[in-house]
A and B are shown apart, each in its own frame.
Chain A
Amino acid sequence: MTVRLDGTTAAQVASAISEERFRQGSSAVGRVLTLVIIADEATQADAVHAAARAAREHPCRILTAIPRPGHGPAQLDAEITVGGSDGLGELAVLRLRGPLAHHVESVVLPLLVPDAPVVVWWPGTCPSTPAHDPVGALAQRRITDSAENSRPLHLLQALADGYVNGDTDLAWTRITPWRALLASALDEPYDQITSVVVHAPKTNPSAVLLVSWLEGCLKVPVTIKASKGPGITGVDIHTVRGDIIVSRPDGRIAAIARPGMPDREAALPRRSIESLIAEELRRLDPDDIYGEVLERFAAGASSAPKATEPALAKKATAKRSSAKPAAASTPTKK
């Protein structure tokens, strides 16, 4: 059931949530975190839908803040749903009007689940330094989506400059299956790699992050060749004795061809927002690999990558390996 409160305050929203929960006879469900979504009217519905589905895996309180700056007086309007038909925990959609639009944190802070982690997600336009955003500063994890911004590569550059542990971008989460597939492709014995080509639209932020990641792992030149998409359409790994070609022209099935082996296929569908958010909520500690990849991207292909972890497969299993097969854990290299 949805409760509407117009011209309200955060304290009233908080007591409405607990009243509603009480009315339904359930005490607090184990809410493990607060997910704050900062969106505009155009993006909020899809984002809330995705978050609500992700919340089945991670019971949480979802606060959707929609700043609506304007000349009118400051006003807070709220819609509260507790335990809706889709099994959702607690959802509050908050519209902040007038000058209040610039003080989102004042409404969000009193509504955070006590002493639980806070995740902020900007499904659309986002600040270029999320950690300096007043709401971002409250959070352990700040999720941006550079692909949804008008100049994604520009934004990535800015995100890299302002990177703080806990930042993450969905462009990076989108390529987890790609990284897993490539890591497993190199799980088998392979020859010395000379270069790699990634096929993707030129401004695809996921592609540039994949390039940066491959450079870091393989220490060979990695370039992007423009394709029409959708998303990343293929990766060619050039070795001294033939090429390993992974292609995914339709955004669904990847074909893997390598010298002396029969062609193989693997499902590699483009990922839904819901699964991206669910993955992001699975681990709330800093995503160190993303930090390194972003830094290397920003530093540009010319500068020397940090020589820390040489083996691709080892990289892929360190830390954020949730979507990767266990088989990738035994690297072999000729």
Chain B
Amino acid sequence: MVIFGVTGDLARKKLMPAVYDLANRGLLPPAFALVGFARRDWADQDFAQIVHDSVREHARTEFREDVWNELSKGIRFVMGDFSDNEAFDTLARTVEDLDRVRGTRGNHAFYLSIPPKFFGPVVEQLERSGLSASQNDAWRRVVIEKPFGHDLESARELNDTIGKVFSSGSVFRIDHYLGKETVQNLLALRFANTMFEPIWNANYVDHVQITMAEDIGIGGRAGYYDGIGAARDVIQNHLLQLLALAAMEEPLSFDARDVRIEKEKVLTAIKLPTDLAAHTSRGQYAAGWQGGVQVDGYLQEDGISPTSQTETFAAIKLEIDTRRWAGVPFYLRTGKRLGRRVTELAVVFKRAPHLPFSETDTEELGQNAFVVRVQPDEGVTMRFGSKVPGTQMEVRDVNMDFAYGDSFTESSPEAYERLILDVLLGDPPLFPRHEEVELGWKVLDPILDFWAEQGQPDQYQSGTWGPQSAYDMIARDGRSWRRP
């Protein structure tokens, strides 16, 4: 596996520790080798030391010297620029050498942990140096990370660039927010049970809320984040994927193709509200206190222009034009510096059509809800009414919890481990293909265009649940956001 941009945060904190964790759990083939490519002037040993340190610090499983020694024998480093022909020739020779020494059978994966603007040059270099060509039945795979473009047009360009060299089946698009474990949990919940499916439709469901909230700000990622914003960063890929998984029909099987077909169907059926001003909201975090810590506003962050119009909070209402979901709004929201870190999918049910109780008995009774907690504390919560103990008839909401952590002793593997493993095994079912990426942009582009004309996003105090406009937008429909 060749990692481009190996000096980046992501490579050090996630990728390399995940490689080690896989090795430690005995899931990596013995022939596995890792090549780092970056501008730094490092020797193989220096790079091995960096990997060693990041593994020690960030690996999920315990550090074992034996495992590390074996793994480190296959670690190489190549210094160079993306425009440097010679460096790529060196890379090609290094990889060939590893094929011989480690016996990798000529199978190569390229992980592009680099900004999208470099995808083009790197892919061209891979072609020029012959790295992308394979002999016999050896495979070539390329891994890219979101954002997959910044609108429909750029997403198509990006896809064309990569498609010139790699076939669509060998391109793996990674949404590191959405671990495969979560996706599979959700599919199991929906399609392995009988008790949910009968009520999973517009007859019983009032609306659906999908939330991804972060308590952190943009941190040191000003260069990446400014100009991108919350909607492109999270809604386009992560939240729409969750929506698709929650709303799609049952696939024929869990084969890559069958799941994709159902997801594409439901993404195609998404309808935008006609009045975007009334049914969307965007915000920017302002200075305040978050979780007991005093924090700056977005416009005061290092590297952000004080007039930036990039949104750090986005909420939109969508509808799905299918028989199953007609008239059921899907509210999507995401933001930084919100109340707490949480990702959840909440299916909120209609009220009982008739309540044979007095009004005061059920004054505290809300709507039933089925909540899939994606993180933290992955699990499921069901909310329903129950009588308060005592002499009076008084019905109140209670929560029933299921936590994966309790039921399965082995902690859910980190998303990156699953991902690397799937890349090596060539098992892409849950990675979005470019068709899905383009469908996502088709949903989002009109909203982004509309927002671009609206000037400054609404300010919201750090540590709260977003701007007033977000509350107003859902209140217009007679509903309210959950406090997740």
Binding site for B on A (CB under 8 A): 8-11, 14-15, 18, 22, 25, 27-28, 30-32, 57, 74, 76, 96, 99-100, 103, 105-107, 109-117, 282-285, 319, 321-322
Contacts and interface: CB of A to CB of B under 8 A. Distances in A.
A106 B391 contact: no
A157 to B, nearest CB: 28
A153 B406 CA distance: 52
A27 B403 contact: yes
Q: Which 8 A-B pairs have the closest CB atoms?
A: A10-B291, A106-B289, A110-B340, A28-B401, A103-B289, A76-B292, A285-B363, A107-B292
Given A27-B401, A30-B400, A96-B292, 5 more contacts: A9-B293, A27-B402, A115-B399, A282-B394, A285-B360
Contacts of B388: 282-283
Nearest to B401: A28
Nearest to B215: A11
B369 interface: yes
Contact of B405 (A22, A99, A106): A22
B341 A11 contact: yes
Nearest to A106: B289
B381 A11 contact: no
Contacts of B392: 282, 321-322
B483 A115 contact: yes
Which of under 10, 10 to 19, 20 to 34, or 35 or more describes the interface residues of B? 35 or more
- Is chain A's interface secondary structure helix, strand, loop, or mixed overall? loop
Contacts of A321: 392
Given A27-B402, A100-B289, A109 B340 contact: yes
- Which interface residue of A9, A10, A57, A117 has the most chain B CB atoms within 10 A? A10
Contact of B463 (A109, A112, A282, A284): A109
B428 interface: no
A115 B367 CA distance: 11
Interface string B289-328: 1111110000000000000000000000000000000000
Contacts of B482: 114-115
B102 to A, nearest CB: 40
Contacts of A282: 388, 390, 392, 394
A111 B290 CA distance: 12
23 contacts: A10-B292, A11-B215, A18-B376, A22-B403, A22-B406, A28-B401, A28-B403, A32-B397, A74-B294, A103-B294, A106-B291, A106-B292, A106-B463, A109-B464, A110-B339, A114-B399, A115-B371, A115-B383, A116-B399, A283-B364, A285-B363, A285-B364, A322-B392
B394 A117 contact: no
Contacts of A14: 340
B389 interface: yes
Contacts of A15: 376
A116 B344 CA distance: 15
A321 B293 CA distance: 44
B483 to A, nearest CB: 5
B376 A112 contact: no
Contacts of B464: 109
A112 B464 CA distance: 13
Contacts of B398: 30, 32
Contact of A114 (B400, B402, B483): B483
B295 to A, nearest CB: 9
Nearest to A138: B483
- Which interface residue of A15, A283, A319, A322 has the most chain B CB atoms within 10 A? A283
Interface in B388-442: 388-392, 394, 396-403, 405-406
A284 B292 contact: no
